Structure 1
């Protein structure tokens, strides 16, 4: 991790700004004639480092990533904008919602960010000699190197994947501090790496075939639909209306929800309404019937059935337990 922190000092010399510390992390922030940006390095153990780059540049900017003497892998995910990476004679452009995975040892990777382009990257580095805290992590690292470290040393660029973006944004939304924060970040990073393995296998299975995978533009529309439902789950959505609203066929819409959320549109809406119902039971003075109709359901018996399936008790029992806890507190 010291190498990553030293790299931040290099950025400080080139870009200006100031470096601060938070919970063992280091953060560079700058706002000058070279642009506006924030770079954060997160302290993790087990042979893993994690960094975030959120930069709006007034000029092109190049920086190097070092592959250690021990074999290592970089997972560079582009949340926004685009960049070009170069390793030896290999040079390719990576766009938003794509990951480039580059591995090897004793080599240098160059990353070029373009001026007047908002660049938002998350970079995970895995070093093979890292001391994994448990067997599950060790198995994950072994699978990572088996999947991505090719004999020819070529990089792997994944197809567009919004699920990985969702995971990485969760890291930036963490508000906990101390050990809890570190454990949450480690968990999300490990889950993201597992998603990268699965995504790579899907890419290889689809290679040379007619792809049914969604385009970047379609994935972004799906993301808008998902967020709209999360903001207002009680609204009477239909697949037809959502398809028209976001310019997608019903088939594309369903495919996108399965890719992002692992379920159908209807099931996703139902689950978000149940989450809202639980919140209202905890925080409002409404009775069950009032909650049922306020979240978009018309049948109390149906609501009770699906609530019991999700929370292993009836809404009435859940409400009584919450109020009894409040009284005893």
Structure 2
């Protein structure tokens, strides 16, 4: 059997179904398969990640030249599907309903349907869509991976028991930026050939699923929005957080960030507490520390140069907050990283 035949056989059936609706070529990198659209259909990709038996993720990131309907029951039969729209919008429809339900930017949805009941996503042309779908196969996952007594699986089982009495279930969630923050780190990245990096990326999908489950339970129990912020205000919080990450060296203040965003101080603080569970100042401090950590392991800058580069002025203060976060001094952190890296390269 030649290499091409081996690659065809290794392509998951779910991706073959997608390829029937979204024509393109498929590339394989370990458990990650990427379907790149043909130019005539649109521009972009669909990434399929096999997390474990019974647990898969699809990342749609493209703009189409025509409207397309994708049967998600065909790519995820008898499963729970957790959807999140990072950019653009799409529509969901069950076979027995004429009405489509729109899933907007920053919005979640939970979908469940029994075998034989059609469930599909409509994607409009000229709409840049960034959509993540995590699929939990009821039979595979719950029979093989939910036997351990842990809170994560218990919540997932409780979620299923709440909706399994219905042949179909669709829950349109409220807006969430906590999931958006995680997906930003996964969309658009070039997946590494390093096993450690691939495992790290997979771990982020588990974190996203956990946030979906937590959010679903909170919304079902409270039957109310978890934030008083409007969609455009959440979008501005997202943009401001990206701005801080891009320019950590700027002396960010509540006043300057309010001027940059057009939000009031109260809305700004509410947005950061909702999205990051941090105040604005805590968020800025954490961004600077994470930027400094990258400088420590990836450059030969001195500690004083790093302090200046991330917008801080006191070396002693930097060392104090760095040790609190990373449990050692910057010099110790550099030494441990260098030693571990040398050991890894020799093995």
Q: Structure 2-normalised TM-score?
A: 0.80
Please, which runs of 5 or more residues in structure 1 have no aligned partner?
none
- Give the direction of change, closer, same or farther, for the CA distance of 1:217–1:153 in structure 2 (3 Å limit): same
Supply the distance in 2 between the matched residues of 1:81 and 1:25 (Cα, whole angstroms). Answer: 24
Q: Structure 1-normalised TM-score?
A: 0.84
Matched, 1:98 2:107: yes
Contact 2:69 2:123 (8 Å CA) reproduced: yes
Supply the distance in 2 between the matched residues of 1:251 and 1:214 (Cα, whole angstroms). Answer: 11
| Superposition deviation, residue 238 in structure 1 | 0.3
SS at match of 1:233: coil
Supply the distance in 2 between the matched residues of 1:186 and 1:144 (Cα, whole angstroms). Answer: 22
Alignment match, 2:23: 16
Contact 1:67 1:73 (8 Å CA) reproduced: no
Matched, 1:157 2:167: no
Alignment match, 1:124: 134
1:218 to 233, 243, 250: 233
Supply the distance in 2 between the matched residues of 1:138 and 1:60 (Cα, whole angstroms). Answer: 37
SS at match of 2:129: strand
Alignment match, 1:41: 48
Matched, 1:245 2:260: yes
Supply the distance in 2 between the matched residues of 1:47 and 1:260 (Cα, whole angstroms). Answer: 29
SS at match of 1:193: helix
Supply the distance in 2 between the matched residues of 1:102 and 1:220 (Cα, whole angstroms). Answer: 25
2:183 to 168, 179, 197: 168
Supply the distance in 1 between the matched residues of 2:253 and 2:76 (Cα, whole angstroms). Answer: 55
Supply the distance in 2 between the matched residues of 1:268 and 1:20 (Cα, whole angstroms). Answer: 38
Alignment match, 1:266: 281
Supply the distance in 2 between the matched residues of 1:326 and 1:70 (Cα, whole angstroms). Answer: 43
Supply the distance in 2 between the matched residues of 1:98 and 1:221 (Cα, whole angstroms). Answer: 15
Q: How many residues align?
A: 325
Supply the distance in 2 between the matched residues of 1:85 and 1:299 (Cα, whole angstroms). Answer: 53
1:236 to 248, 251, 257: 251
Alignment match, 1:139: 154
Supply the distance in 2 between the matched residues of 1:68 and 1:288 (Cα, whole angstroms). Answer: 51
Alignment match, 2:84: 77
Please, which runs of 5 or more residues in structure 2 have no aligned partner?
1-10
- Give the direction of change, closer, same or farther, for the CA distance of 1:176–1:307 in structure 2 (3 Å limit): same
Alignment match, 1:183: 199
Cα deviation, 1:230-284, whole Å, max 9, x if unaligned, reads 1221211101110111111111111221222221110111122223333444455
| Superposition deviation, residue 55 in structure 1 | 2.6
Cα deviation, 1:173-227, whole Å, max 9, x if unaligned, reads 3633375455334422222111012212333355357x74322221221111111
Q: Give me the CA root mean square deviation.
A: 3.3
Cα deviation, 1:33-83, whole Å, max 9, x if unaligned, reads 332232232233231122122231222111212279984211222222111
Contact 1:56 1:117 (8 Å CA) reproduced: yes
- Give the direction of change, closer, same or farther, for the CA distance of 1:212–1:125 in structure 2 (3 Å limit): closer
Contact 2:81 2:110 (8 Å CA) reproduced: yes
